Chain A
Amino acid sequence: MNPINHRVSLALAGTLTLALSACSLSSGEPSSSPASTAAGSTQGTPSSGHAKGTVVLVTHDSFVAPKKTLEAFTKQTGYQVEVRKNGDAGELTNKLVLTKDSPLGDAVFGIDNTFASRAVDAGVLSDHTPTNPPAGMAPFALPDPKAARQLTPVDYGDVCVNIDDRWFAKKGINPPKTLDDLTKPAYKNLFVTPGAATSSPGLAFLLATIGKYGEQGWQDYWKKLMANGTRITQGWSDAYSVDFSGGEGKGSRPIVLSYASSPPFTIPKGGDKPTTSALLDTCFRQIEYAGVLKGAKNPAGAAALVDFLVSPTFQKTVPDNMYVYPVNDSVSLPPLWAKWAKVAKHPFTVAPKKIAKDRRAWLEQWSEIATG
């Protein structure tokens, strides 16, 4: 049939589409007010909150802040916060690099020490250092002075090998302690770790081995590790929840790559002691930074938000919400953490600049060894 004859029906359908998108269920919600996460409290301080506008915080998927905390920020400064999550730390950084010309927001939180150099080199950030730097922040600052001017450390976490103490006790085997131990026959087929190419703790573990065995030596270590039956999974949750015997999945492997902060979560109901522990001689430290984005619409608000992130009000929420340690050492840790989630004294380190330069080559080599 002549398609012209269908003009009327198409016109109708087209109008319908437009009408639908205009009155759709999801966009017609009143939540078009940007800071619905923080909006509740502003009723108390009506005019000041809205007058100064909104700060858009671009961050990674793991960002969690209690409503009350963000409301406190609004109360203090008059800015409302709109949070936009953008994948993991790597994805976040790369998105910022790609959208440099029209930034996704005003401030960023969640660029870590493995991606910091890329963000700084690409020029996505403005200079800003907190007006009142908290006690204990200095050691976490980036070594490069330019980078240190742009990125403010907010929290850190140690990625460490964890073990299922119950399993080792039951089998009567001595648990491993070091990275070297993991290649020993006694621990054959017992270790599971997320892959370095698809998981940020996985990458941290790779960096730990590079920190320990050097740029020339880590490959050999990984060959031995793989020969000893190490299992590589896509992500952390898969390794911890499915394969790890001490996790939710009651899997078959008692050694897993996780965090120094994981053990308190394994305290059984009614118990007082975790069933797992972290090996503090196997750790790599991830430090997360915040900064003001270049081209921010609200640079003043962004600066205020970065300052807020290192203030005690926010700092004290990070252990419970993001499972990381605050850089502000005047903030007290939750009691269970203080007792069961100690951090490494001497974590392995690799210079951020070095990471930025060689990440790709390392990951390719690693892929060949671990998944080839």
Chain B
Amino acid sequence: MNAADNQWQFSKIPNIEESNFNKILERFYSLGVAGLTRENIQNSLDGRLTELDEPVVVKIQLGKVNRQAIPGMGSIVQRINSLEGRNGYTKETISHMKASMMSEEVRYISFEDSNTRGLTGAKYGQSNSKEHTWGIYAYNKGVHFEEKDESFEASRGGSHGVGKIASNAASDVHMMFFANCDAEGEQHLGGTIQLIEHKLGDHYYRSTGYFAKLEGSKFMPFENQYDKIFEKTTRGLKIVIPFLRDSFYREDEVIRSVCDSFFVSIMEKKLVVHVNDLVIDADSIDAIVTDSQYYVQEIEAMKKVFTPLYVKTYKNQQPRLIEIPHANTVFQFNLYFNYDERIPKGRVGIIRTIGMKIEDFTVKNNATKPFNAVLIGGIDEDSYLKSLENESHTKISSDDLKDPALTKLAKKFISNLNKEIVKVIDEEMRSHNPVDGKINTSDLLYTMELDFKENLSQSFGTVKIKNGKNIVTSDEDNKAETTPAKVKRKKRENDGAGKPKESGIRRKGKARDKGEDESAAEDQKDEYKINPYRVERLLLHDQEFIQLNLTGSPEVAKAKKCNLKFNIIDGMGKEYIGEFNMKENYSDIIDKNTSNPCVIESDVIKNVSIKNGIVHLQLALKPKYNRSLKFIYYVEV
């Protein structure tokens, strides 16, 4: 390696212990460009100049730049080529890096803030002093510099100290730069890259690389004399992410993300954001959230994104105070509440005092109530909410707390929060839907009765269908005992029917006039399932007697002759068609009504007489007959 190209510093380590990429990369990658935008703007808000009464301005640029403009690419290419993947995911990521790093035209995004402090002490490099924020920001992971002013610290957005890496995650090669200009006008450029622990030459190196020069054992930043995209000439910080992922290169998504998360800051004139040529400020935000290019405008369709509603609620509603007891104190929040019948999903946007939305909070059991609300607390409330946020600042929950006592308190807090908001919802619902003391419940009762009938019909064995009317038959005394099963033998999912009508009997004549000559008539027969209550069965040593009582269904009982079919029912009540072979199980069948023998075919007994609605058979069993079988009986007439 020649010294001139050696602009990226990796610390030497004795050996490789960790073969994976930093896990936080994946997490932020999954949050997309929206998460990236949110993190960076939040950092800018945290760095606001308190003594100045001007809004923080963040300029976001999306564009393309020639590869030559990115400093230190030579040594990075060499590093990436030396990486060795040890599992599927790592291999895939490395090959993606290799494929991306050589392209001539490079996508980038930059976030430049002003009216912010920027970092201090850059010229001291890695100084390990708490005062020199450059050293902390540039060369340290997982810490953020704490404010000396406690109330300011409480209102800051970040708390997990991992946000910096969000920018690395957005780059195909996990690379990001930050250009700083401090109060004295000194301009420096730093950067980081997240690789994996690797071996280059004879040495092993740590995964994180720093864009810096090494002076003794200290990292020192370069003075900023690089391409225009890195230029930062006013006080503040500029984050530049080259090799921006293709899926992140979405201007409209950036705009949406700004509005979604920071509409309160923007409306309160604490923040102005430029996205390329578009300026989002207190005056323009209305036009943006009501533009169908960015947001769905039909209130009825707002089921996932609620920003247009929040903006309206926050602008038009008067806040009401809600109080939530917590340990020894009482938290006070302002709730902006809007009731609108068209809103399909009721959500409460929970906002931190810096104006950043944490969550579209769903009130327990009230997720589909027609309202929209915005909830903002003060400094005390803020610092508590901060402790409940997850790492990506998109949800409050008790999960991130380790201390069981605190977890319990947090659960209680969330449940109290739910309760208080429910009170407001109920109150609003009542005032918009006055109760006049009388409610017409006939429709309700009708529905209940219908449901009941339906459930009942499903739980009983025999149901009759005709004309689409339902009649449920529950016991042996009931008249509808058979089910026409012609319709593909749908078992009993059918609905019952009232009185059997003529149509069911019509074809009987043909079937009856000549029993033997079934060729023409057979497919016209109606098939009825017989209620088990109506079957009596007696098994003797080598004989079986079966008696079917068909008097319950007149159209069947009227017939003189019929065919019988048996289907096996297994141990779980499932019916099998064609599983039972009559010929193999019965040697002779005598019709006891007439003392004549019946015709046995493999799946049907033919020419059985019906006398006074009764079928009576004596069946001689073959030796292999399985006496344990159970059947459901069908009559064809």
- State whether these chains interact: no
